Structure 1
Amino acid sequence: MPPESQFVSDLKIAVICSSNMNRSMEAHAFLAKKGFYVKSFGTGDKVKLPGSAADKPNVYDFGISYDEIHTDLLNKDRALYTQNGLLHTLDRNRRIKSHPEKFQECYEKFDVLITCEERVYDQVLEYMENREPVDNSIVHVVNIDIQDNLEEATIGAFLISDMCLMMAQSEDLDNDIEEVLHNFEEKCQRPILHSIVFN
């Protein structure tokens, strides 16, 4: 990551989904390419990926590397996990960072936390409201619902990128956020949730 002075905006952004595999990582890749300071996380108990049947998911602990998951799936069924896009997804992920990270174990401060589904939004709010505040600076938690598949993750990454560019153009985001999100909501035709919590 380049030094902070080289970013297009001084906003610190985290994108969060359940397993830090698909939606948050696609948005992470997009935002990083646009020059934002961005990190990505999951909020689930485990990293869960589709398996050979609906009732047989692949389940891993946070902290396992994308390389290790890639090798495991390759050994289990190369054809299946090539066809459903998981191996491709893991290839992209390991170019960005080494392993999925759990948001509840992160102590870095962010200005904007963007979640990809309402359940994750609720988990983020619960965690932020129950932890010890650091300096009471404002954090905006914003949710946009994105289905957990490859096509929607790509569309969602475009939308999140647009939203972050709109935020970056504001000179006083804390004052302007409602207007920014209202304009974005009208443009993207998806409902947006927004809460303020404190670092």
Structure 2
Amino acid sequence: MAQLQMADVNGTAGQQLASNGERVDPGGFKLKFCTVCASNQNRSMESHLRLASAHYPVISFGTGSLVRLPGPTITQPNVYQFNKTSYDSMYKELEAKDPRLYRANGLLNMLERNRGVKWGPERWQDWQIGVPRLDHSTDKGSAGVEGGVVDVVITCEERCWDAVVDDLHSRGSLLNRPVHIINVDIKDNHEEALVGGRGILDLADSLNKAAAEERELDPSGFDSGNAASRASFDERVPEIIGEWQERWPNLPATWTLGWF
């Protein structure tokens, strides 16, 4: 397979690209990620695809009560249920309603991307943490998250960050496993989602590099989510985010350490 050297200003120098433009899997340890936005449609899905294409284990969710997509007017949104409506069925419905409108506003292109990533939008509050996700084997990024836990949750809006933090508090720390919850504030449009996706991948790379270094001290403890084994990595995360924020000043970030 042909490989190209990739180097840019966002910390990806030295990585290899395959002939199809995707990153070559370097192997080794990888953190598990979860991306979250309101409807699991635009920002979280762009980031999900970016991380999966870089060979990170990743899942994604929305925090809203319903999936809402723009309609012909502001008072006529297209509304769907989480976990029950596929991206493919949304695509076909909107294409049948008004292909010109939904092609022009980018919804059909977005849904075309989404249906190539996973079956449909999932709701964070319905996620059974720690329960195997055996019916998601065809999702991009599914390898590594079959066990139903992640190391880092990245939300794309402050209200989504609040919803995730509040939900975890209400569930209690049943697994006694630390999880980093980071909000990267991204405007909900297609152009900003692309920029945000690149920023989130850069942040993931920085976090993963530090985690791999700290994991060498106690690999089995780190992999099991043992708090003591992860403490040195946990302590480095705020500094990593601060350095990342200097590279991405237009993507305001917020962080907290939570528990599964």
TM-score, normalized by the shorter chain, greater than 0.5: yes
Asked which structure has the greater RCO (Cα within 8 Å, sep 6+), the reply is 1
Structure 1 residue ranges without an equivalent (≥5): 1-5
Q: Deviation per CA, 1:101-143: give whole Å up to 9, x if none.
A: 1111112221100000000000000101100322211110000
Moved over 4 A (4+): none
Q: Deviation per CA, 1:62-100: give whole Å up to 9, x if none.
A: 020001111111111111001111011111101110110
Structure 2 residue ranges without an equivalent (≥5): 1-25, 130-147, 215-232
Higher Cα Rg: structure 1 or 2? 2
SS of equivalent residue, structure 1 residue 110: coil
Matches within 5 A, 1:131-170: 131-170=171-210
Question: Identity of paired residues, percent?
Answer: 40
For residue 58 of structure 1, the aligned residue among 60, 72, 78 is 78
Q: Give the letter aligned to residue 258 of structure 2.
A: V
Aligned to 2:252: 191
1:15 equivalent in alignment to 2:35: yes
Q: Are the structure 2 counterparts of residues 196 and 156 from structure 1 closer, same or farther at C-alpha, using a change threshold of 3 Å? A: same
Equivalent pair of 1:15/1:115 in contact (CA under 8 Å):
yes
CA RMSD of aligned residues (A): 1.5
- Partners in 2 of 1:11 and 1:37 — Cα distance? 7
Equivalent pair of 1:8/1:35 in contact (CA under 8 Å):
no
Q: Deviation per CA, 1:133-171: give whole Å up to 9, x if none.
A: 222111100001101110000000000000000001102
Aligned residues: 195
TM-score when normalising by structure 2: 0.72
Equivalent pair of 1:7/1:37 in contact (CA under 8 Å):
no
Q: CA deviation at 1:191?
A: 2.3
1:39 equivalent in alignment to 2:39: no
For residue 117 of structure 1, the aligned residue among 149, 157, 169 is 157
* More helix as a share of residues: 1
TM-score when normalising by structure 1: 0.94
Aligned to 1:73: 94
Q: Give the letter aligned to residue 177 of structure 1.
A: V
